[in-house]
Amino acid sequence: MHLPPIPPWRALLAAWLTLLALLGTAAQADEYDTLRNKWITVQTGGPGIDTANPDIAAAIVRITATAQTAWNNLHKEAGRTRLWDDVGVTDNGSDAAANYARLRSMAIAYATTGSSLQGDPALAADIVAALDWMHANLYNTGTVITSWADLEFAASQASMTTALLVYDQLNATQVANYTAAVDRFVPDCSNWISKYNTVSVATGGNLVDLCLAVALRGILGKNGGKIAAAASKISPVFLYVASGDGFYLDGSFIQHSTHAYMGGYGTAVIGGLSSLFILLNGSSWAITDPNAGNVWNWMSKAIVPLVFNGAMTDAVKGRGVSRCGPGDHGTGRAFAQYLLRFANGAPAAQAAYLKGVAKAWASQDTSWNGYVDSCSSPGTSYTNYYSGLPPYDIANFTAVMNDASIVAASPLNGNFNFAGMQRVTHFAPGFGIALSTFSKKISAFECGSSENWKGWYTGLGMTYFYTADQAQFNGNFWPTVNLTRLPGVTTDGSTKVPACNYENVLNTYDWVGNSAVDGLHGSAGMQFTLAPVTGSTLAGKKSWFFFGDKMVALGSGIASSSAGAVETVVDNRKLLAAGNNVLTVNGASQPATLGWSATLPGVSWAHLDGNVAGAGIGYYFPGTASLYALRESRSGKWSDINTNSGPTTTYGNNFLSLAVPHGNAPSNGSYAYVVLPNRTAATTAAFAAAPTIQVLENSQEAHAARDIALNVTGVNFWNDAGKTVMDGALPYLASNRKASVTLRESGGQLSIGVSDPTQANTGSITLEIGRRAASLISADAGVTVNQLSPTLRLTVNVNGSAGKTFNVKFGGVSLYAPKAVGAAADAYVRGGSYAATAFGFNGYTVVTHSSSADWIRQGLYRFDLPATPAGASIASVQIRLTADGVPTTAPQNRAFLLAGNGWAEGSVTWNSKPALASATPLASWATPTAVGTPVTFDVTAAAVNAMAGDKKLSILLDSLDSSGTWVSYSTRENANPVYRPVLIVNYN
């Protein structure tokens, strides 16, 4: 059968389509070249790098020297069995990654403009031959998976980068071989394959690393499908999560299900995404996921609030704290690099923000000036912030630092709660604090791959104080500090060898959380037990209140039946090389000799000089405390805490620790201290002489503290039961459930932040505040205001809130705080044969009625009314009496106004008591049946009348029950100040 001839126009169309297809193929091929050149630019700085820039020139010298050393030591002989004597070949995972990393360093020098090795044909030949040897012996389609992470992204990325850098020297067979190996280990970047060949879903940093490896493989092999897969399968990382691995709405980042890891796997996420954005955006495989814009929110919410002076807190580094290296400043600088990489392709507003942040960090971070990284071999010396960076990143920093139009970001000031990972950071001018806690969802620490063997206490309330002393947590801090006495923890020194198999070490208590107000001040708390961590029975309740430039720490219920002396470590600071930082206690300098220790009684304040000017820290102890001080020289090896990669060199540091001792087997220990960063001994002494911090309560029911200078109060309610925290004799704040609450009064406004720290309350929290307001200014969804007067009442629906702080603000809050005055006189009188006998000066009054006159008793109380503030008027007046002795029944008691106030408690009797002003009682009530129960009744009208006269108010108590059942009420002589009678005046 013959087909009809093709019409001429159709033949012409077919020819055009063929030509367009060929042009499309050529364009696609050119685009692969474009992507490859982008990656080479990131690795080397590109052909246009400014080699006259002294920092870039120094980087090129370093790159060249590193490559030359590797090349000199490379085995080049026929039949070689390894590439380098000091790099193994027995483990195809870690050894493959290490060999490829060294080859990559050689390839970078080969491709770097200005290097004496640039374009060296002999070097290129040796690199390619080594790649072939790796493919034949260590990394190919037949390789058995051992260390999956090393094989699947470390070796994959390094091998692909090396091949891309020497691409012009490769033939098609070599490209096919190298890419086939990556296909073996990463056939699908959304999954990872274990050594048992089980396939698991990749998340977080692992997902990003795997997809970057696949993208590089696609570029090398000119396989658009692979690049497209990397661009699309990265999408899950952009989604916010409510549990497990990933980013949370509050800025938390979790990896390995239960670990705070922004400073570990988070660097892989941000670094890998910055590379993928650079590579793919603007190409045919651009990342188009609509959720990719979440990246910009992460910068401000998940990264910046974890960095002080360019250092990212180790509180979010997981087991990475056990790795020898530049530490927190190294992590912070890596993020600064990635922020600038993102900025190069970010929308204008985001780019300006990222550049401003990076400029601020680079300006603030002076830790690199003269820093020596003893972990590398040979040790690497740094001269400035740019030392050790690739030329590409130095060029990015230089452009930003030299651009006067880019304004460095202002230092942070505020309180940041990462409820998803149980971390809190707080910033005030000149310093920062990080707090690390653990819960039923977040592990105390992670040990895995033989890393972080001694991390027991890092999540048990460790407090990091950041000052101008930028090396405090560097300089071999982790292998030399006493890891059972970290700052902020309550400890008995107990330890337990972990299985080190990435096991979760979870708290058995759910009260772990934080609240904040106005974004400036916060309250955090943790109920803890050492049982899952070390096996000890030590347990207790701990709170931290962050008030501007101060931190208040309270503890209660500290109990243990295990062996070991219990103490709360106020601080444990790394000292100068001489170890002689001045410690001043109550104005007296303490010995500066290493090895000195002492238990110091009656300590009101202490001060420790910093390692640099302005970095001294003051400590204030409300009500004084016994303080154990220890100045010691300590030594250790990184291999003690990291047997995987830790150097065996022994390092030494000096430390000064201060601790509140609780003794052996405490049953209800407590502590209270205030940390005052950036103070001198003189300013610390001045604070102690006139402290602005008040401890309102430190009990098993609640922790409460106030900064009267800032008018900020923090309260942590520990139980699901009604509880009122008193402000002296006045009720201040009540809650019906476990809650964290922070309040701030300013300019007639009251701001409140409240959270469910348990993240388990499926209902609500009801609060009552001893204030009245004229109006509601604002309230988050979920907050219901029940009343504005005479007290504020609100209910917060916290179901599913994940530890979030709910905020509400009121206006027209009275500038006149309620006044409370104690009784000026109190006594009881007795009838019958006792009618002429005085019963004053007791700690109680007795009220009873009977058919027998001898049995009748009545109570008398007199109050001197306080002066009314100018411009104010009395709104209400109440008297509060507290039951000191109670019956099993509840007889009816009454209060009457007395006509006279001239009686004296030491002489008043039944016969001499004043007459009743009226036969109508002021109030009546059923008597309490539990000791300590208050009775409050209104006397407003009587008080207002009294203010027009002698400003005194006397009342009499009697009973209507004739059975002789008695009740006693506390007097001003009662030993318990909370029980004493009080008259409370509220003002308009």
Measured distance CA(764)–CA(784) in Å, rounded: 10
Amino acid, single-letter form, for residue 762 = T
What is the CB neighbour count within 10 angstroms for residue 594? 16
Of the pLDDT bands very low, low, confident and very high (cuts 50, 70, 90), residue 377 is: low
Per DSSP, the three-state class of 853 is helix
Of the pLDDT bands very low, low, confident and very high (cuts 50, 70, 90), residue 240 is: very high
Residue located via tokens 């629906």: 797
What is the CB neighbour count within 10 angstroms for residue 849? 22
Helix ranges, 372-446 (H): 391-401
pLDDT higher than 90, residue 92? no
| Residues 931-958 pLDDT 10s | 999 999 999 999 999 999 999 999 999 9
Measured distance CA(57)–CA(45) in Å, rounded: 11
Which of 960, 965, 889 is CA-nearest to residue 921?
Answer: 960
Amino acid, single-letter form, for residue 712 = V
pLDDT higher than 60, residue 367? yes
**For 914, what's the count of Cα atoms within 13 Å in the CB-facing half-sphere?**
23
pLDDT of residue 940: 95
| Residues 474-521 pLDDT 10s | 999 999 999 999 999 999 999 999 999 999 999 999 999 999 999 999
Which residues are identified as catalytic? 265
Measured distance CA(457)–CA(915) in Å, rounded: 67
CB neighbours of 820 closer than 8 A, spacing ≥ 6?
728, 729, 730, 982, 983, 984, 985
Amino acid, single-letter form, for residue 60 = I
pLDDT of residue 5: 36
Residue located via tokens 């280990």: 185
pLDDT higher than 50, residue 23? no
Query: Counting every residue, how long is the chain?
Result: 988
**What angle, 0 to 180 degrees and rounded to 10, lies between the N-to-C axes of helices 8-44 and 391-401?**
80
Higher pLDDT, 793 or 23: 793
Measured distance CA(46)–CA(49) in Å, rounded: 6
Peptide bond into 378 cis (omega under 30): yes
| Residues 838-881 pLDDT 10s | 998 889 999 999 989 999 999 999 999 998 877 678 889 999 99
pLDDT higher than 60, residue 265? yes
Which DSSP category does 188 fall into? S
Mean per-residue pLDDT, 620-638? 97
- 742 phi and psi angles, rounded to 5 deg: -125, 135
| Residues 139-196 pLDDT 10s | 999 888 777 778 888 999 999 999 999 999 999 999 999 999 999 999 999 998 877 6
Contact 536, 666 (CB under 8 A): no
CA 154, distance to chain mean position in Å, is: 30
Per DSSP, the three-state class of 607 is strand
Residue 761 buriedness (CB in 10 A; 0-12 / 13-18 / 19+): buried
Cα dihedral 446/447/448/450 (nearest 10): 150
Contact 240, 249 (CB under 8 A): yes
Peptide bond into 647 cis (omega under 30): no
Which of 753, 733, 748, 779 is CA-nearest to residue 546?
Answer: 753
pLDDT of residue 29: 56
Measured distance CA(291)–CA(777) in Å, rounded: 33
CB neighbours of 37 closer than 8 A, spacing ≥ 6?
46
What is the CB neighbour count within 10 angstroms for residue 818? 22
CA 415, distance to chain mean position in Å, is: 9
CA distances in angstroms from 368 to 286, 305, 474, 702, listed in the order given: 37, 21, 11, 45
Which of 636, 629, 628 is CA-nearest to residue 653?
Answer: 636
pLDDT higher than 80, residue 9? no
pTM of the model: 0.83
Mean per-residue pLDDT, 923-930? 92
Per DSSP, the three-state class of 631 is strand
| Residues 689-724 pLDDT 10s | 999 999 999 999 999 999 999 999 999 999 999 999
Sequence-ordered strand ranges (E) for 613-746: 617-637, 650-664, 669-677, 693-698, 702-707, 712-717, 723-727, 730-735, 739-746
pLDDT of residue 787: 94
Q: What is the chain's alpha carbon radius of gyration, rounded to the nearest angstrom? A: 36
CA 525, distance to chain mean position in Å, is: 11
pLDDT of residue 153: 83
pLDDT higher than 70, residue 8? no
Measured distance CA(657)–CA(648) in Å, rounded: 26
- What is the average pLDDT value for the chain, to the nearest integer? 93
Residue located via tokens 């006159």: 853
Of the pLDDT bands very low, low, confident and very high (cuts 50, 70, 90), residue 315 is: very high
pLDDT of residue 94: 84
Which of 430, 500, 437, 492 is CA-nearest to residue 465?
Answer: 430
Of the pLDDT bands very low, low, confident and very high (cuts 50, 70, 90), residue 534 is: very high
pLDDT higher than 80, residue 15? no
pLDDT of residue 378: 66
Max Cα-Cα span within the chain: 140
CA 390, distance to chain mean position in Å, is: 31
